[in-house]
């Protein structure tokens, strides 16, 4: 457990690829410091410093707001969730640029939390970053006074490259608070109603969770109130899951929808839970949640209230509901992708012909002077080749016993998803040779020369940034 906020990034990882807390978080990373330069992000200028690590390919994603497009699977799913909570206020336009304080400190993240590492998060500079989760906005939204709200947004985390990992993904955060002196009787009645409804639905809820000293009710709460809020959190989310998956998963009496609750840890909730859904033969982790730490509500100016919050990853659910096999497809501008979907409808994605993969290996000696992290390579690759890269895998690693130098070999899989180069959006990082007009509306594979050219630029950038020595 405990790789990031808890066991998951709520995106599309079913089993963590790398064991918790190992290797990937420990190497410091080295970007050259250019103290007098500034970085422009969405029209604002920020002073760069030693923490600046947001590449242009990531900055180009900020204006896209896929979750607001009514005909996009992420937009369709957001609308479905908002429809399930009709009385909730929505906030869908919060800027992804937040202070480090807001993203981490204000929510009680310890100073040594792995999520803070520059290998894991995108920093504009030491004080400003791209939000890593929608919880970063909890306090400001609570402060605005709504007692039930949903907020959907793009979130950013540095990651490896493969079919289910992308450094930008989307979350829906939801919360509800209750007045401790007024709402508790009504809450008990509502809980009973929700429980009755769920009992008659085709859903099996596996919940062995216990309130323990490791995952306690908060001292400041009356345990009876905390129990009511926890129960309301659980039945509200079970009902949401039933309405998202129930019909689509063909839940029947014989094969009901299965949901399981697992104890978890988040710095800003207690007790905390994660929820998994059994879908197409696998347990799929879809959300994190808990009773909001009272300190958060106090800071939001609502000391007399108690409440719950959840954060759910949209991509992971959308990949299952719409049968979307590769997370890069959400970013596709290809009409063969976009034209398949209709606002308000869940339909299975029909795959169109995929171009053949083109594998290129890069082997190099790392340098003692400059630390190198796999996410550094992934960012260089994305910045150079954009979404032409399907995945990056470490295929060989050894230390020369004589010199103690370390050699790494990565295999980069280049595969084009979209139509021909002429149709690339202007923000696309790779600008190759111009295409003949003839090809304007054709779809085409990547040529070997083109890939070689990109690959040599990737290698050149690695040499420049990380002083690696190609082998
Ligand atoms: N922000 C958490 C995450 O991204 C999810 C979460 C939201 C957990 C709200 C508890 C309450 O993993």
pLDDT of residue 434: 36
pLDDT of residue 417: 75
pLDDT of residue 445: 62
Q: Hey, is 400 helix, strand or coil?
A: coil
pLDDT of residue 165: 87
Q: Is 271 in the pocket of ligand 1 (CB under 6 A)?
A: no
Among 173, 144, 170, residue whose Cα is nearest residue 82: 173
Q: Higher pLDDT residue, 19 or 354?
A: 354
Residue 179, beta-bridge partner list: 305
pLDDT of residue 6: 42
Q: What's the rounded Cα separation, in Å, for the pair 229 and 36?
A: 51
pLDDT of residue 246: 77
Q: Hey, is 183 helix, strand or coil?
A: coil
Beta strands 257-266 and 203-207 are parallel
Ligand 1, from 311, 312, 316: best to mutate by most atoms within 8 Å of Cβ?
311
Can you give the residue ranges of every domain in the chain?
Answer: 41-339, 358-470
Determine whether domain 41-339 maps to CATH 3.40.50.300: no
**Rounded to whole angstroms, what are the CA distances from 399 to 83, 172, 238, 320, 396?**
56, 44, 50, 41, 11
pLDDT of residue 440: 32
What are the pLDDT digits (tens) for 380-406? 998 998 888 888 999 999 988 888 888
Distance between Cα 129 and ligand 1 center (Å): 18
pLDDT of residue 355: 76
Longest dimension (CA), the chain: 74
Per the CB < 8 A criterion, the answer to whether 123 and 54 are in contact is: yes
Q: Higher pLDDT residue, 428 or 379?
A: 379
Cis peptide before 3 (omega within 30 of 0): no
Q: Higher pLDDT residue, 422 or 268?
A: 268
Per the CB < 8 A criterion, the answer to whether 314 and 240 are in contact is: no
Question: What are the backbone angles phi and psi of residue 237, rounded to the nearest 5°?
Answer: -75, -35
Ligand 1, from 134, 135, 172: best to mutate by most atoms within 8 Å of Cβ?
135
Q: Is 164 in the pocket of ligand 1 (CB under 6 A)?
A: no
Ligand 1, from 133, 174, 215, 296: best to mutate by most atoms within 8 Å of Cβ?
133
Q: Which CATH superfamily includes the segment(s) 358-470?
A: Ferrodoxin-fold anticodon-binding domain (3.30.70.380)
pLDDT-based confidence at 121, cuts 50/70/90?
A: very high
Q: Is 266 in the pocket of ligand 1 (CB under 6 A)?
A: yes
Q: What's the rounded Cα separation, in Å, for the pair 299 and 131?
A: 20
- Give the chain's mean pLDDT: 85
Distance between Cα 268 and ligand 1 center (Å): 8
Among 181, 202, 178, residue whose Cα is nearest residue 191: 178
What are the pLDDT digits (tens) for 107-116? 999 999 999 9
Examine the pLDDT at 19 and tell me if it is beyond 70. no
Q: Is 261 in the pocket of ligand 1 (CB under 6 A)?
A: no
Examine the pLDDT at 58 and tell me if it is beyond 70. yes
Distance between Cα 155 and ligand 1 center (Å): 12
Atom of ligand 1 nearest to the CA of 4: 12
Name the range with the highest mean pLDDT among 150-159, 246-255, 352-361: 150-159
Residue 410, beta-bridge partner list: 362, 394
Who contacts 34 (Cβ-Cβ below 8 Å, separation ≥6)?
48
pLDDT-based confidence at 251, cuts 50/70/90?
A: low
Question: What is the average pLDDT across 444-465?
Answer: 85
Examine the pLDDT at 137 and tell me if it is beyond 90. yes
Examine the pLDDT at 160 and tell me if it is beyond 50. yes
What are the pLDDT digits (tens) for 59-75? 999 999 999 999 999 99
Examine the pLDDT at 5 and tell me if it is beyond 60. no
Task: Give the strands of the sheet with 469-470, arranged side by side.
Answer: 389-399, 406-414, 358-365, 469-470
For the chain, the straight-line distance linking the first and the last C-alpha, in angstroms and rounded, comes to 37
Question: What is the average pLDDT across 132-145?
Answer: 97
Among 319, 237, 320, residue whose Cα is nearest residue 278: 320
Examine the pLDDT at 1 and tell me if it is beyond 70. no
Q: What's the rounded Cα separation, in Å, for the pair 54 and 122?
A: 5
Q: Is 174 in the pocket of ligand 1 (CB under 6 A)?
A: no
Ligand 1, from 109, 159, 288: best to mutate by most atoms within 8 Å of Cβ?
288
């Amino acid at each position: 457990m405990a790789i990031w906020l808890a066991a998951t990034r709520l995106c599309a990882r079913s089993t963590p690829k790398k064991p918790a807390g190992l290797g990937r978080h420990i190497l410091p990373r080295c970007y050259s410091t250019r103290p007098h330069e500034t970085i422009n992000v969405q029209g604002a200028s920020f002073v760069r410093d030693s923490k600046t690590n947001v590449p242009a390919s990531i900055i180009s994603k900020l204006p896209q707001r896929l979750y607001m497009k009514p005909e996009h699977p992420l937009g369709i799913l957001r609308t479905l969730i908002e429809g399930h909570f009709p009385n909730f206020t929505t906030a869908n336009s919060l800027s992804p640029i937040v202070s480090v304080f807001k993203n981490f400190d204000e929510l009680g993240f310890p100073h040594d939390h792995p999520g803070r590492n520059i290998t894991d998060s995108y920093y504009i500079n030491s004080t400003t970053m791209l939000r890593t989760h929608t919880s970063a906005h909890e306090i400001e939204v609570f402060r605005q006074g709504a007692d039930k709200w949903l907020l959907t947004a793009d979130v950013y985390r540095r990651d490896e490259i493969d079919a289910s990992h992308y450094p930008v993904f989307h979350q829906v955060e939801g919360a509800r608070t209750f007045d401790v002196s007024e709402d508790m009787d009504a809450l008990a009645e509502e809980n009973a109603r929700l429980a009755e409804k769920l009992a008659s639905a085709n859903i099996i809820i596996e919940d062995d969770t216990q309130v323990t000293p490791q995952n306690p009710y908060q001292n400041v709460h009356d345990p009876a109130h905390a129990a009511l809020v926890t129960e309301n959190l659980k039945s509200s989310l079970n009902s949401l899951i039933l309405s998202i998956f129930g019909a689509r998963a063909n839940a029947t009496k014989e094969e009901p929808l299965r949901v399981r609750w697992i104890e978890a840890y988040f710095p800003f909730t207690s007790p905390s839970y994660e929820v998994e859904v059994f879908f197409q033969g696998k347990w799929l982790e879809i959300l994190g949640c808990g009773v909001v730490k009272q300190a958060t509500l106090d800071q939001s100016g609502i000391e007399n209230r108690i409440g719950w919050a959840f954060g759910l990853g949209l991509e992971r659910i959308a990949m299952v509901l719409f049968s979307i096999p590769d997370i890069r497809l959400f970013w596709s501008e290809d009409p063969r992708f976009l034209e398949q979907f209709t606002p308000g409808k869940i339909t299975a994605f029909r795959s169109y012909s995929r171009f053949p993969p083109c594998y290129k290996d890069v082997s190099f000696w790392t340098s003692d002077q400059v630390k190198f992290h796999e996410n550094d390579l992934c960012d260089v690759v994305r910045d150079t080749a954009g979404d032409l890269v399907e995945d990056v895998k470490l295929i060989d690693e050894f230390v020369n016993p004589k010199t103690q130098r370390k050699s790494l070999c990565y295999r980069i899989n280049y595969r084009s998803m979209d139509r021909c180069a002429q149709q690339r959006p202007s923000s696309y990082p790779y600008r190759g040779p111009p295409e003949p007009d003839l090809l304007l509306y054709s779809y085409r594979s990547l040529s070997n020369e083109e890939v070689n050219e990109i690959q040599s630029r990737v290698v050149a950038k690695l040499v420049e940034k990380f002083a690696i020595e190609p082998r």
